[in-house]
Structures are given as structure tokens and as C-alpha cells.
Amino acid sequence: MIVCSHAEQNPIAVQIHPNNQLQMSSPNIPTVQTAAIVPSPGAAIVVRHDVPVKQASELLPGECLIKLACTGVCHTDLHAKIGDWPLKAKTPLIGGHEGVGEVVAIGAHTSNKEIKIGDRVGIKWLADSCLDCESCRKGLEQNCPLAKLSGFNVDGTFSQYVVSYVNHVTPIPEGIESAEAASILCAGVTVYRALKYSGTNIGDWVVLPGAGGGLGHLAVQYAVQMGLRVVAIDSGAEKKALCLKLGAEAWIDFRESKDIVKAVKDICDGVGAHCAIVTAANSSGYEQAVDYLRSGGTLMAVGLPGEAKLQASIFFTVFKSLNIKGSYVGNRQDAREALAIAARGKVKCHYVLKPLADLKDVFEGMEQGKVAGRVVLDMK
């Protein structure tokens, strides 16, 4: 092995393999690590300190090894752990898909030119896609039939090291702390894309059920940046204060309001909102959405309750010329755009930093609706 020092802060080990291919990696990659594991469907999280780390020589072409600095905790991770979706996660599972870290190794024969050892990159829900199927060619990479989903069908970021894929990791721009960038990689990208395709214009009213949660509080800020007027719906004094501070013009507490449809219509010129982006994780957040939209309005379905059906009057969907659309994370370009806005300080994740050992408690708090904004786990 030769250790060369062309990057002084990142000495790189260059290994000559038996097949004469250069293999790049940082030195000192441990053989075991700490990770939070869901051992079997629905089982409690176990934090283990003896989980193997894939070594540089074991990486396949296109794979890279990331040493994580931090990772956000998304409600999707809770769905994956509980198993309340029609699609089930693999087990044993290392969850997590809002990771930021440093590239410490890249598999031999990897052709991607952009990503290098020492780069700070993000891992999003869509860890990899084929980039060659109809969905990928149309920019719907997240709908690729061969999609690898971080913390769902491949191991994710609740670990010190994660194997990811050079074509889909997202370069983190300068000017944003890793802990601030983490949740932009799922929560931020998702709501940014939902707003982008919502058909709204400057000055339109957007209703955000789930506004005080991880996705919702970022949606408030991206919406404000787009010149939209925000009606935040969630519950509790802390989330109310957060949403109003972030720029929501009106607040409705879904636990206290007797008539959410009337409340929204009263706020939105007496006729209803132009758009609703539902990020609540249960079906109740969807219940009145179609009723409080004005004619020509759009419902963007984002929150993912597992078994619920969307209740909407067919008559009024037609009669009011409504649009109902599903919006699922985002592609590589959406990720870069969402991060660029955050790196310019226009959108800030409101988060509390906690150790990985607290993940079980974080899930409990999330299940009870107690997490305002996000929890980010410190993985260093």
C-alpha cells in the first residue's frame, strides 16, 4: 500500500489490486461499527457495536463508503420499523435516509467523475436507480423499478458507515452545516418538489396539514420563499409558535378546531385555498382537504398512511376542476435545488441534535406527535 498526500487533510490510501485496478480509500476504516438495527419486522430497535463495515476492497463498481457525521430521523423510518405500509422493509434493517458524511472509499472500476474521496455528500431515500429505464429517463428516478431505498431495501444511515452509490449521493454545498443539511435530503427535497409541481402562483394560499412536523416546517419555509401564503394546520403551542415564526400567516389547531373546512375558507378569501400539501402521517390530515380547496385547486398527497383510502367527492372533484396528485421524494436535481436554497440560508431546518442511543425515544415522541421540526442524530 502507498499512502500519498496530495490532499493534506485527507491522506488517501491507493491500493494496487490483483487485477491491477486502482482502489481509492482513506486509511483507518474500522472493521466494525455502531448501528441501530431493527432485527425483525416490528421488533424493537437494538443498538449494536459489532456491525461489520464493508471494506474498500469489497465495494462494487459504483458503490462508495460514507463515514457519517449525522442523520435526520424521518417518520418514514418509523413506518419502516413498525411495518405499517403495504410494502415491507427488509430485516434485519439499518434504517435512516437523511445522512450527511464524508466519502472514505470508492469501489474499483467506478466511472463517476464528480464524486471523490473526502467529499461531503448526502444520502437520500433514493440511494440508487438504474438511470436507464423510462422512469429514470423522464426524471422520475424515484419510480425506477430497480430503485435502492436507503433504510428500506438497503441499509441506511443509522450507522457510523454506510455503503451508498456515487451516481445518487448529493454533493453538500458550502455554507451549510451538516446537521442543517441532513433533513433537507428527504424532508426538504420532498416538500420542495411537491410545491414545485403544485401549480401554485405567487400570492396563492397553500394549506399545510402537518406543518409543525419534519416535512411540514420545511414546507412552510419553501412556500414562503415561493411567495405563497401559508395556512399551517397542526397541534400544540410549540408547533404553532414554530409555524408562525417561520412565516405562516394563519394557524389552525386540528385538535381544537370544530370546523377545519370553514376555518380555512374564512382565512382564504371566503372561497378556500389554491392548494393543500398534506404531510400528516395519518389519514385524518387528508379528510377535509378536498372540501377546503377552491375551484381549480390542487391536493398534493405527500404523507404516507399505510392502509387509508383517500375520501373525495367525485362530483365535486369534477365540478370544481380539482387536481389530486401524489408526490414522492425527488430526483437528483430536486435534491440539489432544495439544498442550494437551504445553503443560501433561505430555509433552515429546526432540529434538536441527539445521540443514536436515543433513537427509540425519538420514535416514541414522533408517534405521539411531540417532535416539532426534526431530530437529527449525531453520528460522530
- Give the footprint of ligand NAD on this chain (CB under 6 A): 74-76, 79, 186-187, 190, 209-210, 212-216, 233-235, 239, 254, 279-282, 284-285, 302-304, 327-329, 366, 369, 371
Task: Return the one option of ligand NAD, Zn ion, none that residue 335 interacts with (CB less than 5 to 8 A, by type).
Answer: none
Extract the C-alpha cell encoding 300: 398534493
Out of Zn ion, ligand NAD, none, what residue 264 binds, judged by CB under 5 to 8 A for its kind, is: none
User: To the nearest whole angstrom, how small is the minimum distance from the Cβ of residue 65 to ligand NAD?
Assistant: 25
Cα distances (angstroms) measured from residue 145 to each of 33, 131, 132: 31, 11, 11
Q: Which is nearer to ligand NAD, 33 or 183 (CB)?
A: 183
Instruction: Decide: is 186 part of the binding site for Zn ion (CB under 5 A).
Output: yes
Q: Which does 122 bind (CB under 5 to 8 A by kind): Zn ion, ligand NAD, none?
A: none
Please give the Cα distance from 215 to 279 (Å, whole number).
6
Among Zn ion, ligand NAD, none, the one that 282 touches (CB under a kind-dependent 5 to 8 A) is ligand NAD
Separation CA 130–CA 150 (nearest Å): 15
| Residue nearest to ligand NAD according to CB distances in the complex | 213
Distance of alpha carbon 47 from alpha carbon 174, whole angstroms: 32
The answer for residues whose C-beta is within 8 angstroms of residue 241's C-beta and 6 or more apart is none
CB-CB contact of 158 with 355 (8 Å): no
CB of 29 to ligand NAD, least distance (A): 31
CB of 123 to ligand NAD, least distance (A): 14
Q: Which is nearest to 213 in space by CA: 337, 289, 304, 150?
A: 304
Q: How far is the CB of 104 from ligand NAD (least distance, A)?
A: 27
Q: Which runs of consecutive H residues, i.e. helices, occur in the chain?
A: 75-82, 134-137, 178-182, 187-196, 214-225, 237-245, 260-267, 289-292, 314-319, 332-343, 359-367
Cβ-defined contacts of 244-251 (< 8 Å, 24+) = 246/217, 246/220, 246/221, 246/350, 247/220, 247/221, 247/223, 248/208, 248/211, 248/220
Considering the complex, what minimum distance in angstroms separates the CB of residue 33 from ligand NAD? 25
234 binds, among Zn ion, ligand NAD, none (CB under 5 to 8 A by kind): ligand NAD
Smallest gap, in angstroms, from Cβ of residue 258 to ligand NAD? 14
Quick one: 302 or 343, whose CB is closer to ligand NAD? 302
Q: The C-alpha cell of 40 is what?
A: 425483525
x/- binding map, residues 69-88, to Zn ion, per CB under 5 A?
Answer: -----x-x------------
Buried b (16+ CB within 10 A) or exposed e, 247-259: ebebbbbbeebee
Query: 212 contacts which partner out of ligand NAD, Zn ion, none, CB within 5 to 8 A by kind?
Result: ligand NAD
**281 interacts with Zn ion by CB under 5 A:** no
Q: For residues 40 and 122, give the distance between their C-alpha atoms in angstroms, rounded to a whole number.
A: 27
At its nearest, how many Å lie between ligand NAD and the CB of residue 231? 11
Give 15 or 143: the residue with its C-beta nearer to ligand NAD.
143
Nearer to ligand NAD, 28 or 368 (CB): 368
Which residues, in sequence order, are bridge partners of residue 317?
none
Nearer to Zn ion, 38 or 322 (CB): 38
Q: Does 123 bind Zn ion (CB under 5 A)?
A: no
Least distance from Zn ion to the Cβ atom of residue 114, Å: 24
Report the nearest approach of Zn ion to the CB of residue 365 (Å). 16
CA distance 357 to 297: 44
Name the residue among 213, 215, 214, 253 with its Cα closest to residue 231. Answer: 253
Q: Which CB, 125 or 161, lies closer to ligand NAD?
A: 125
Place of cell 437529527: 376
Binding site for Zn ion (CB under 5 A): 74, 76, 186
